[in-house]
Structure 1
Amino acid sequence: MPETLTARDRAIALEQDAARYPEERGEILLEAADQWEQAGEPDRAVALWHELIDAGGEDAGYARYGLAELYFEQDRDAEAQEHLRALEDGPVAAGPAGLVAELLAGRGDNEAALRWFNRAIATLGVDQVAAIGEPGGSPSLHTPLFFGRQRCRRALGLPADDWDRVADVAEQNRLEFGRLLERAARAYSRRGPMDATMLVWQRDEQERASRRWPSVFPPDTIGHHPGVERRLHRMTREEGLAKVTLILGSVDGFAAYLDESGGDPAEEKVRLAYAERARTQGRHMSWPPGRNEACWCGSARKYKKCCGDPRNRS
C-alpha cells in the first residue's frame, strides 16, 4: 500500500471494505462518501448517500445531512431543504440531528437550528442529561448540543431555561478539565527522566479498528508500525525516558469502553482513558522487547527482523 493515499484511493478502498464487511456497511459507506467529496467527485458521494437512504436506519439520517450540506454549498437550497424536511418527518438520532442543527446555525438560521438542537437533546436519556449537568462531571460527546442550543437561544434573545443551565455547568466542567490538563502538563515538565506509556494497536487489531472506526483509524495508517518505532526511539533520546510501556489496544475492549462511557473514539482524552483501563487489565508490554523476542507490532516475526531492524530507524 502506498505511504500516502489520496482521498480517491481511500474512497475506493472503503467501498471495497464495505463489500467485505456487510455488518459495518453503512458506517463505511458514509466515510467513503466523505472521501469522494474531498476527492472532488461529489456525484460519487451522492450515489452512496442515496443508497444509504434507500437502506434506511440511522445511517440514512447521516446521508440526508450529507446531501443537505452539499446542496447548500452548491446553492441548491430547495433540494437541501427537501432532504431536511424528509429527515424531520421521521425518527432521527442525536448524531444527525445535531449535525443539521450546527449546519443551520452556521447559515444564520437560529430558529430552525434551535428546533433541531431541541430534537437532538430530546433523544438523550434523563441520566445522560443529568450527567452532563453534574458539577465536576467529565466531558461528554453530547455536550456540544447544549452549547449550540444555548448560542441559538442567546442570539434569539430568549431567557435561560433548564437546558441552558445544563450548558452553564458543562462549560464550567470544560474549563476545569482544561485547568487539570494544564496542571498535569506543568507537573510533567518539572520531572526528570521518567517512565512513559503509549497506546498502540498491533497489526490485526489495527486493521479491525480501521474497519470499525475508519474516520479515526484511516486506511493509510495501516502498517505504520516502523514509524511508531522511530518515534519511540526519538522520545527516549530527546526526553530522557527511563522506560516505555506499550498499552496494547483491543477493538473489543475499546468498543466496550465506548459503550459504557458514551465517549467519542475520535477524542484523545477518551483513548487515553481507555488506555489506562487496558493497562490495569494487563494489556501492556515493555519496549523495546529483546532482539530475539516477538516484535511488539504483532507480526509474529522477531523484533530484530521487524520493527527493531536498524534500517527502519532511518
Structure 2
Amino acid sequence: MKADLTSDDLLQIRQSALGAADPLGVAAELADAADAGRLADAGDAGLALTLAAEIAESRNKLDAALRYAERGLDAYGTRDDSQVASARALRARILFRTGQADEAEAALESLRPLLTRYTDAPAYVSAALAVGGRHKVAEQWLTEAVQSALAERGAAAEPSSADDAGQLFFLLQQRHRIRHVLGLPHDGHDNLADRLETKLANAGTAPAADAAEAELLFWPQAEFDRLVAQWPALGEAYGATWDEHRARLEKELVRLTAAGGVGLTLGVGSVDALVRTAGADGDPADPKTRAGYARLQATRSTAIHWPVERNGACWCGSGLKYKKCCLPRSRR
C-alpha cells in the first residue's frame, strides 16, 4: 500500500478491497496507515479506520470490526457530519451482530434526530436496525420523521421537483421499503411516496432508488433467456446478454460498496414469480413492479449475499471461482 494515502485512494480501496486476495490484510494496513500518519490528510484517519471496520465486518471478523469502528469514531473526535453519523450506525450494526443489542439500539437512538437532517441517514439507520431485527422500530422512527418533515412543510403543496421534495422524499421511500418488508398495507404516507415517485420520475428528477433495486435482481441464465424473449425491451434494464447482465450487477455491487454499502444482497428472479407479483391486471415489465419484486426477493432465503470469497464459488452459479468469473467483470 502506497505512502500518504489520499481521500481518493481510500475510496478506490473501498471499491477494490473486498475482491482483494487478502481483504483482512488490507484492513490491517489501513489501520496501520492511520496509526503511522501515512495519510495525506490526517483528518482521513476516521475514514480509513471505518473502512477497515467495514472490511472486517464483511468477513465476519466482528471483534476486529468493532475495534476498528470504535477507533474510527475516536479519530473523528468532535466532527459532526453525515460521514461520522454513518460510522456511528456502522458501529451499532456491529454491536447488534455481536449480541450487544441494548447498546446498539441506544447508539441508534442518538442518531434519530439526523433522520430529518441527512439524506442518507434514513437508509443507514434503518439498515442497522434491520440487522438487529428491529424493523418495527425502524418503521416507527421513520413514521415520526415523516410526520415531522410534513409538519415543517405545513400547508405547502406536494413537491414538484427533487429539490422541493428534499429530505421528505428519502424518508418516505425508506419507510415504504421497511413497511414492504413487514408486509404492512399501504397507508396515506405510502400513497404519498408513490405519488412523489411518479411525479419526480415524470419530471426526470427522481433519485434512481427503485431503478437501482430493479438492477439488483439476478436472473439465472435460463430465467434471463425467458425474460428477454418475452419482454425484449428489458434487455435495456438488465443487459442484452447474460454476460452483460452479470457484469452490470457486479459493477453496481462494487459501486454501492464504494459508496459505503455492506451486507449487500441479490434477489434471485423467476419469470413465473414476477408474473404472479404483477397480477392479472399488472405489467411485469413495469419498473415499479420489478422494483417491488426485487425488494421482496432480497428478503427471501434464496437471496445471494455479496461479496463472496475470492476463491469461493461465484455468486452467479457458473461453477467457476469468483476470481475467475464475475470479479473481473467489474473491471471491464
TM over 0.5: no
| TM-score bracket, shorter-length normalisation | 0.3 to 0.5
Specify the structure having the higher radius of gyration (Cα).
1
Tell me the TM-score normalized by structure 2. Answer: 0.41
